[in-house]
Amino acid sequence: MKQTLHYRVYPFDPAGHRLKVQLEIPSPSRRCQIVSLPAWIPGSYLIRDFSRHIESIRAWCGKTVMTPQKINTNQWAIDGCTGPLTIEMVIYAWDLSVREAHVDESHAFFNGTSVFLMAEGLQHLPCTVQIQAPPHTTKWKAYTSMPVAPEQGSKGTVNSIGSYIAPNYDALIDHPFELGTPAVITFKAFGALHEMVFTGVAPGLDLARIARDTKRICEAQMALFEPAKKEAPFVDSASKYVFMTLVTKDGYGGLEHRASTALVTSRKDLPVKAHQETPAGYTQFLGLVSHEYFHTWHVKRIKPAAFVPYDLLVPNHTRLLWVFEGFTSYYDDLMLLRSGVIDLPAYLKLLGKTIASVYAGGGRLKQSLAHSSFDAWTKYYKQDENAPNAIVSYYTKGALVALGLDLTIRLATVNRRSLDDVMRLLWQRFGKRFYGGRARGLGETELAALIKQATGVDVSLELTQWVQGVADVPLADLLARSGVELSWVSDTDTPDLGFTTKTSGPDLMVRQVFEHGPGHIAGLSAGDQLVAVNGLKVGGSEATLSALLRPYQAEQVIDLHVFRGDLLKVYRLRLAPPKNNTCHLIPMHS
Ligand code: ZN
């Protein structure tokens, strides 16, 4: 008989941000059972070594105390136990992001990668999870997309607030949990149940409006991938989809899972019932919702071959992140337009911003999208002040390549085919196979042939230039042939210094210096504290610096006094014309 692994999570010390997590293995590997905690979480390509938050680890074989031997940063070995083997950890959980775990008196949020040990050699076994209420309240409920256990046995269910099942370890760590008393609203999209869970909100949040807009986005995406059946992507692994959102002062971020997503958003970006006008950041929140939901198909089920299966102890390299994050970034805003939650002018404004952000840095002419994807672990996720000069984002340039491919396909087929056809073929060929665990990932060099098959258009030359090489996507030309005019203007009349700044306490510091710009040529460096422009004191804000530069024009030379460390230095800088940093997209009238 197939054994089942049992996990139990107990937020026993919310004030100290501590969780107790138990794993019981009925029949461990007798000679030596190795257990490990992931070093990274799928969707966020950085080695995080979650085991650093383990305060203590203990084990029992039956009732006999065992000593887990640490054999690696994230691995332990327990010898000579015939079972049952129980391992208990105390984990410190105080990370306010979507990637780890966070516990206090008001709530608990955790990802399985932060709390569930993997029993090596037994990853294929089904698992149960029992969640225990914290000691200080009986009001908490558990929210997750992990399926509820069919029968709640009597054994060990004291103070239980939920029991769940997962078919294997891969599923176990792909359903994060939110525990507490959040604001909750549900809706159905083409008949499929969706739940929105908001933690940290003040009263008055306009939940009904958020649910209404989100439903439209979900239905637009279901209609894209499954135009006939309108089937939800998560039916293989859960009975509902859960959006779990942590609302903070100024947070932003999201992480995709197979039937849920964890989001962090800023309080000011969400609509409230008392005010009719829409917050400026609400479109960005809906864009995040759209992005993470799109991943339910594209990266959670359609995957790079390099992720099938994940190796959670070491970096997993692929040259295809631009396909998975770039296409998703292209479709996230496009789905806002197609679902009708924004109009065409608003969409073209968002697209213009994406174009401008790619062109802001010269790194796009040095690093290819294939390399940006491969080196995500050490470059995109470890950006320093030189990033704009050295790297390109596989999100934003990936989105421009998606747009370039979409326009190329539409122009070549007189709009009879589009990137939508490519997404549907990817889904049929790779995504649906995820159902039932027969997953095969997209090979590193498979895309061009797949696009040809889906659309009849050969884009191999474009992929070679835009993805393997560092060529810009010729968007002005492609858009013009599609009826949209692209133009560049400057949003300022202040001459350009060639660097960005940031406020640090009362001071204004150089943040990033653009290669070959006036600041670089003059000798300025990131971290320099700006003191004076031609003898006049620079205040602590960008506005005061701009005010000082207003009397000057391009080609004039100024003296800039800065502190580098505690050394006062003066640099002579030749001002450049204001940068054309804003991209306008206007439909042409025929
Ligand atoms: Zn993403």
List pLDDT tens digits, range 208-217.
999 999 999 9
Q: What is the pLDDT of residue 111?
A: 98
Placement of tokens 């149960």 in the chain? 128
Q: What mean pLDDT value characterizes the chain?
A: 96
Question: So what's the pLDDT on residue 439?
Answer: 75
SS (H, E, C) 119-185: ECCCCCCCEEEEEECCCCCCCCEEECCCCECCCCCCCCCCCEEEEEEECCHHHHCCCCEEEECCEEE
* Tokens 């294997």 sit on residue: 168
Q: How far is the CA of 270 from the centre of ligand 1 (A)?
A: 21
Q: How far is CA 343 from CA 334, 469, 488, in A?
A: 10, 34, 22
Distance 92 CA to ligand 1 centre (A): 27
The Å distance, Cα 277 to ligand 1 centre, comes to 29
Is the pLDDT score of 428 beyond 70?
Answer: yes
Name 84's bridge partners.
none
pLDDT, greater one: 437 or 45: 45
pLDDT tens-digit profile of 42-70?
999 999 999 999 999 999 999 999 999 99
- pLDDT (average), residues 448-466: 98
Please, which residues have CB within 8 angstroms of residue 566's CB and are 6 or more apart in sequence? none
157 confidence band (pLDDT: 50, 70, 90): low
Strands 69-72 and 75-79, bridge-based pairing: antiparallel
Contact 116, 64 (CB under 8 A): no
Q: What is the pLDDT of residue 435?
A: 64
Residue 325 CA to ligand 1 centre (angstroms): 5
Q: Cα–Cα distances in Å, from 240 out to 234, 243, 540?
A: 8, 10, 50
The pLDDT value recorded for residue 123 is: 96
C-alpha 433 – ligand 1 centre gap (Å): 21
Which tokens in the block code for residue 386?
A: 């030189």
pLDDT score at 31: 87
Using CB atoms within 10 Å of the CB of residue 233, give its burial: 0 to 12 exposed, 13 to 18 middle, 19+ buried. Answer: buried
User: What is the 395 CA–ligand 1 centroid distance (Å)?
Assistant: 8
pLDDT at 67: 95
Instruction: Give the pLDDT of residue 153.
Output: 54
| 347 C-beta neighbours (distance < 10 Å), count | 17
**What are 293-350's pLDDT values in tens digits?**
999 999 999 999 999 999 999 999 999 999 999 999 999 999 999 999 999 999 999 9
Helix 282-294 / helix 344-359 crossing angle, nearest 10 deg: 80
Q: What is the pTM of this model?
A: 0.97
For residue 156, what pLDDT is reported? 53
How much distance in Å is there from the Cα of 160 to the middle of ligand 1? 34
Ligand 1 center to residue 492 CA distance, Å? 32
The CA 545 to ligand 1 mean position distance, Å, reads 36
The answer to whether the beta carbons of residues 262 and 42 sit under 8 Å apart is no
CA of 377 to the centre of ligand 1 (A): 15
Is the confidence at residue 148, as pLDDT, over 80?
A: yes
DSSP 178-229: EEE--EEEEEEETTEEEEEEEESPPTTB-HHHHHHHHHHHHHHHHHHH-TTT
pLDDT band for position 410 (cuts 50, 70, 90): very high
How close is the Cα of 328 to the center of ligand 1, in Å?
Answer: 6
Number of H helices, E strands in the chain: 16, 28
Could you give the percent of the chain with pLDDT greater than 90?
A: 94
End-to-end CA distance of the chain: 70
Average the pLDDT over 24-39 and give the result: 95
Both structure tokens of 447: 């895309």
Centre of ligand 1 from the C-alpha of residue 348, in Å: 21
- Asked if residue 479 has pLDDT above 90, the reply is yes
- pLDDT value for 436: 59
Note whether 377 and 47 are within 8 A (CB). Answer: yes
CB 80 within 8 A of CB 88: no
Residue 433: pLDDT over 80: no
The token pair at 436 is 């039932």
Q: What is residue 1's predicted lDDT score, i.e. its pLDDT?
A: 63
C-alpha 337 – ligand 1 centre gap (Å): 19
Task: Please give the single-letter amino acid code of residue 92.
Answer: Y
What is the CA(327)–ligand 1 centre distance, in A? 9
**Strand order, beta sheet including 54-61:** 64-66, 54-61, 85-92, 18-25, 5-13, 127-132, 160-166
CA of 263 to the centre of ligand 1 (A): 12
152, pLDDT greater than 90: no
Closest CA to 398 of 425, 427, 419, 426: 419
Residue 441 pLDDT more than 80? yes
Report CA(295)–ligand 1 centroid distance (Å).
7
pLDDT at 250 over 90: yes
- Element at 54 (helix H, strand E): strand 54-61
Q: What is the pLDDT of residue 438?
A: 67
On the question of pLDDT at 177 being above 80, the answer is yes
pLDDT at residue 73 tops 80: yes
What per-residue confidence (pLDDT) applies to 18? 98
Neighbours of 60 (CB within 10 A): 17
Task: pLDDT band for 590, please (50, 70, 90 cuts).
Answer: low
Residue 298 CA to ligand 1 center (angstroms) comes to 9
Q: How many angstroms is it from 540 CA to the middle of ligand 1? A: 35
According to DSSP, residue 16 is labeled G
Segment 421-425 shows an average pLDDT of: 98
413's CB contacts (< 8 A; 6+ apart) are 455, 456, 457
pLDDT tens digits, 527-561: 999 999 999 999 899 999 999 999 999 999 999 99
